[in-house]
Amino acid sequence: MQEVIKQKQKRMLRLVKSTNAIKSEQGRMIDSEDYYKQVERYAEQIRKTSNADEIIGILDIVLSETRGLRFSNEVFTAQEQVKLAEQKIESLKDELEQLRGLVQTDQMTGAFNRRGLEDIFKREAARADRNAQSLGVILIDLDNFKLINDNFGHQYGDSVLINLVTVAKETLRPSDIVARFGGEEFVILLPDVDMQDALMIIQRIQNNLARNFSIQSDNQVLPITFSAGVALRSFGEHQNSVLNRADKALYQAKRTGKNRAIPALI
């Protein structure tokens, strides 16, 4: 991933250097020598980061300045090259935004991955603290998933994971988040809910999953189920702490019969 970003950094620098002049902050034209000095400043910023957000921000500045060109006699003949540079800068920016999405997304299920979860948890936790709101953190684990893989194959197991995420997204509110935590474990973030609401939401997902997806085995229809531990984040509580509480509740749900959601202790 880092190598892909480095290659796009090099392409971006070549694109920026293809223009001949840009508008300064004061609105005056600057000559080629000054322009290349400014390009080097952009280049230095890009070399110091592999963060896609920062690179996209620099591209926004370059694109804005490229569009701000004032075509004097010196640069009139470069208009077509400038237009081409704008198009390529926009294309590169789109590619980087897509790469940023890949970094934070589990490619099989379409849920956020652990890295995406970390970023979103920080955002939602800060929002919850700022607004004095709750944040529901649910850790779920598919029941008997190893048996599903062993008896029906990993391809079928993958379809179970995909369907779980699909059902969860269709059931949840737009503000809720689904992330794949690892294997058959998923984390759901529910902003601004109380424990009763969180338990009801998880129950709806369980019901919808069982109704829409099942296993045919020995002339029996076996529903796909999962167990869940449901925690409400305390003010200032770290991600690891609240997930640890949810994990203990999940273990209790597994131990007492599976296919149920258990509230976590505070």
Predicted local confidence at residue 22, as pLDDT: 40
Distance, CA of 26 to CA of 190 (rounded, Å):
47
Distance, CA of 241 to CA of 195 (rounded, Å):
17
Asked if pLDDT for residue 16 goes beyond 60, the answer is no
Q: Residue 46: helix, strand or coil by DSSP?
A: helix
Q: Which long-range contacts (CB under 8 A, 24 or more apart) does 8-11 make?
A: 8/55, 8/92, 8/95, 8/96, 8/99, 9/46, 9/47, 9/55, 11/92
Mean pLDDT, range 150-167, rounded to an integer:
92
How do residues 87-134 score in pLDDT, each as one tens digit? 766 766 666 655 555 578 888 999 999 989 999 999 999 999 999 999
Mean pLDDT, range 36-59, rounded to an integer:
69
Asked if pLDDT for residue 14 goes beyond 80, the answer is no
Domain boundaries, the chain: 2-103, 114-263
| C-beta separation of 232 from 195 below 8 A | yes
Predicted local confidence at residue 21, as pLDDT: 39
Asked if pLDDT for residue 205 goes beyond 70, the answer is yes
The DSSP call for residue 265 is P
Poorest-pLDDT segment among 5-9, 35-39, 64-68, 142-146: 5-9
Mean pLDDT, range 209-213, rounded to an integer:
84
Mean pLDDT, range 14-25, rounded to an integer:
44
Torsion 8-10-14-17 (CA) sign: positive
The pLDDT confidence band at residue 56, using thresholds 50, 70 and 90, is confident
Residue 212: CB atoms within 10 A of its CB come to 13
Predicted local confidence at residue 23, as pLDDT: 39
- CATH number belonging to the domain at 114-263, selected among 3.30.70.270, 3.30.360.10, 3.40.50.1820, 3.30.300.30: 3.30.70.270
Asked if pLDDT for residue 170 goes beyond 90, the answer is yes
Residue in the structure block whose two tokens are 């591209």: 59
Residue 219: CB atoms within 10 A of its CB come to 5
CA–CA distances in Å: residue 60 to residues 14, 21, 188: 16, 17, 33
Predicted local confidence at residue 30, as pLDDT: 45
Residue 86 annotated to the active site: no
Predicted local confidence at residue 82, as pLDDT: 61
pTM of the full predicted structure?
A: 0.65
In SS3 terms, 125-187 reads as HHHHHHHCCCEEEEEEEECCHHHHHHHHCHHHHHHHHHHHHHHHHHHCCCCCEEEEEECCEEE
Q: Active site residue: 65, 124, 184, 237, which one?
A: 184
CA–CA distances in Å: residue 147 to residues 135, 155, 220: 33, 13, 16
